[in-house]
């Protein structure tokens, strides 16, 4: 004999699918002796038949117009993208994309830090230029500037070398030869042949450049000259060389400060 | 009763299998961007969804708005669905979620249809109308998840699997929910007209 709860469960299950013969027989037996379960069965049957007999609304022309009007519009490009790339089937797509972004950003940051944070190498042009950038302003903030200056200085160095080789009478060529003489004596034969005191106006610049180069590893001399020559006033303002009678000490103090 | 209930009940799932195959073909075309195919699907399911939502919210204008929202959501989401989509159950799921989310905003007043036209001489019609009214009243007192399960299963004629899919639950959970909904309905339906017995509904 089944309980009331089991009888009601079987009554409900019978509305969804046919019961097996044993359960059907037990349910019928229980319903014949239990008025409350029989009432539940009758109400359940009334529910099913009543819902099936409920009136039915016709289709709404307002809704039809609105939906057809919406369908008639062309789809947006994003909807077409969704058709091409079924993002719903790839739940980890956004996570993978985010991870790749983080990896690329980390690699980029690592390369940048590694490039600027490398200790100075006497044979490395980047290190020298970084030091020159640090000499001008701040070493960390002028990292990009230093790299750009390196490329420009290399280009100008080749030009100035060519100029100094062909136009030895030019005052700028004299300055270049002067500083290159002080930093790299055996590199350029024409530079070493020129005297230092030929151009008094460019003496502080060349002296400063040579002093700054002497504090650290010997850099490329043409690079130093290129930085000093076009930005003469700015360097003077920054280091006080324009008014200081002894620019060497001032330059050294600036270099050792950071 | 006359005017508003002039609709024709559509064929249920026990109809021919060719309809289902055509549905799959239309769904496949609509997923690929065929607007005509989606329009045909809309014509096919427009009235059933409208009636289902009308039984959920008891307001025809609101049911029309929710029907429109349902089909627009379906139109936008269809290209992103999987190829083995059960369109009918999926559509009813959208309709159910749309209605329930709207009702949960707490700004809905259930307006019961005025069906108490008992002045006709035909006793059969009177009995039918009376029973419809009673069922409407009882259904309106059920919690939404019970009402939606009963409406999908017995009013819209969905199978148990389709009902479960539309409610986003398993078949066993659908059986259990239907059982509880029928018990709740029996409590309300068998209660006195003054509404006693409402507190016995297992919510």
ipTM of model: 0.74
Whether B186 sits inside 8 A of A15 (CB atoms) is: no
For residue B89, count other CB atoms closer than 10 A to its CB: 20
Q: What is the pLDDT of residues B24-44, one digit of tens each?
A: 888 999 988 888 999 999 999
Q: Give chain A positions within 8 Å (CB) of B39.
A: 68, 71
Give the best-scoring range by mean pLDDT among A37-51, A205-219, B188-202: A37-51
* A vs B: CB pairs below 8 A: 142
Check whether B194 has a pLDDT greater than 60: no
Angle at alpha carbon of residue A53, lines to B126 and B110, rounded to 5°: 85
pLDDT for position A143: 46
Per-residue confidence band for B10, with pLDDT thresholds at 50, 70 and 90: low
> Which runs of consecutive H residues, i.e. helices, occur in chain A?
4-16, 21-33, 35-52, 61-72, 77-84, 93-117, 125-136, 143-166, 171-183, 189-193, 203-215, 221-228, 232-239, 247-256
Q: What is the pLDDT of residues B170-184, one digit of tens each?
A: 999 999 999 999 999
Give the best-scoring range by mean pLDDT among A41-50, B8-17, B127-136: A41-50
Q: Which of B67, B158, B173, B188 to mutate to test the interface with A (most CBs of A within 10 A)?
A: B67
Check whether B17 has a pLDDT greater than 90: no
pTM for the full predicted model: 0.56
Q: What is the pLDDT of residues B47-68, one digit of tens each?
A: 999 999 999 998 899 999 999 9
Whether B135 sits inside 8 A of A50 (CB atoms) is: yes
Check whether A117 has a pLDDT greater than 90: no
The nearest CA of chain B is from the CA of A14 a distance in Å of 10
Q: What is the mean pLDDT of residues B152-167?
A: 94
pLDDT for position A231: 42
pLDDT for position B133: 78
Compute the distance between CA of residue A23 and CA of residue B180 in angstroms, rounded to an integer: 20
pLDDT for position A135: 47
Q: B109 and chain A: CB distance < 8 Å anywhere?
A: no
The mean-pLDDT minimum among A138-147, A161-170, B33-42, B74-83 falls in: A161-170
Tell me if B157 sits within 8 A of B15, measured CB to CB: no
**Chain A residues 34-93 with CB within 8 Å of chain B:** 39-40, 43-44, 46-48, 50-60, 62-64, 66-68, 70-72, 75, 79-80, 82-83, 86-89
Whether B46 sits inside 8 A of A60 (CB atoms) is: yes
Q: What is the pLDDT of residues A166-188, one digit of tens each?
A: 444 444 433 443 444 444 433 44
Q: Give chain B positions within 8 Å (CB) of A62.
A: 64
Reading the block at residue A154, the tokens are 């290399």
Per-residue confidence band for B92, with pLDDT thresholds at 50, 70 and 90: very high
Of B1, B5, B35, nearest to A71 by CB-CB distance is B35
> Which runs of consecutive H residues, i.e. helices, occur in B32-159?
35-57, 60-77, 87-104, 123-140, 144-150
Q: What is the pLDDT of residues A58-77, one digit of tens each?
A: 999 999 999 999 988 776 66
Tell me if B27 sits within 8 A of B41, measured CB to CB: yes
Compute the distance between CA of residue A210 and CA of residue A225 in angstroms, rounded to an integer: 9
Of B67, B128, B190, nearest to A60 by CB-CB distance is B67
Tell me if A190 sits within 8 A of A222, measured CB to CB: no
What Rg do the C-alpha atoms of chain A give, in angstroms?
44
Check whether B193 has a pLDDT greater than 70: no
Check whether A234 has a pLDDT greater than 60: no
Reading the block at residue B46, the tokens are 């427009």
Q: Give chain A positions within 8 Å (CB) of B27.
A: none
Mean pLDDT of the residues in chain B:
79
């Amino acid at each position: 004999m089944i309980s009331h709860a089991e009888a009601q469960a079987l009554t409900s299950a019978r509305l969804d699918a046919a019961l097996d013969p044993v359960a059907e027989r037990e349910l019928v037996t229980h319903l014949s002796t239990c008025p409350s379960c029989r009432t539940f069965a009758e109400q359940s049957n009334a529910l099913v038949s009543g819902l099936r007999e409920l009136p039915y609304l016709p289709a709404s022309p307002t809704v039809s117009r609105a939906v057809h009007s919406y369908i008639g519009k062309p789809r947006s490009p994003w909807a077409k993208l969704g058709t091409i790339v079924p993002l719903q089937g790839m739940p980890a797509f956004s996570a993978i994309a985010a991870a790749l972004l983080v990896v690329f950003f980390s690699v980029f940051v690592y390369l940048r830090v590694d490039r600027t944070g490398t200790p100075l190498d006497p044979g490395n042009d980047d290190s020298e230029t970084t030091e020159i950038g640090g000499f001008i302003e701040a070493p960390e903030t002028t990292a990009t500037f230093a790299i750009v200056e390196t490329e420009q200085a290399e280009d100008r160095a080749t030009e100035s070398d060519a100029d100094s080789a062909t136009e030895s009478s030019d005052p700028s060529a004299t300055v270049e030869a002067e500083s290159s003489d002080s930093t790299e004596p055996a590199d350029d034969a024409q530079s070493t042949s020129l005297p230092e005191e030929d151009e008094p106006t460019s003496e502080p610049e060349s002296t400063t450049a040579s002093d700054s180069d002497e504090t650290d590893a010997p850099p490329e001399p043409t690079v130093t000259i290129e930085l000093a020559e076009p930005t003469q006033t700015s360097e003077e303002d920054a280091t006080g060389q324009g008014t200081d009678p002894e620019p060497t000490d001032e330059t050294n103090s600036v270099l050792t400060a950071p | 009763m006359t005017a508003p209930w002039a609709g024709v009940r559509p064929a249920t799932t026990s109809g021919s299998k060719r309809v289902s195959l055509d549905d799959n073909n239309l769904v496949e075309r609509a997923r690929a961007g065929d607007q005509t195919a989606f329009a045909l699907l809309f014509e096919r399911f427009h009235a059933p969804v409208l009636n289902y939502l009308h039984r959920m919210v008891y307001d025809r204008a609101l049911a029309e708005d929710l029907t429109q929202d349902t089909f627009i959501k379906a139109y936008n989401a269809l290209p992103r669905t999987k190829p083995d989509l059960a369109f009918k159950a999926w559509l009813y799921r959208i309709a159910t979620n749309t209605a329930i989310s709207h009702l949960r905003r707490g700004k809905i007043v259930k307006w019961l249809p005025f069906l108490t036209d008992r002045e006709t001489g035909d006793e059969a019609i009177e009995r039918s109308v009376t029973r419809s009214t009673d069922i409407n009243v009882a259904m309106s007192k059920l919690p939404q998840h019970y009402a939606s399960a009963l409406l999908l299963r017995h009013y819209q004629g969905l199978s148990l699997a389709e009902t479960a899919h539309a409610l986003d639950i398993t078949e066993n959970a659908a059986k259990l929910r239907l059982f509880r909904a029928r018990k709740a309905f029996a409590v309300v339906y068998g209660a006195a007209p003054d509404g006693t017995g409402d507190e016995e509904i297992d919510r």
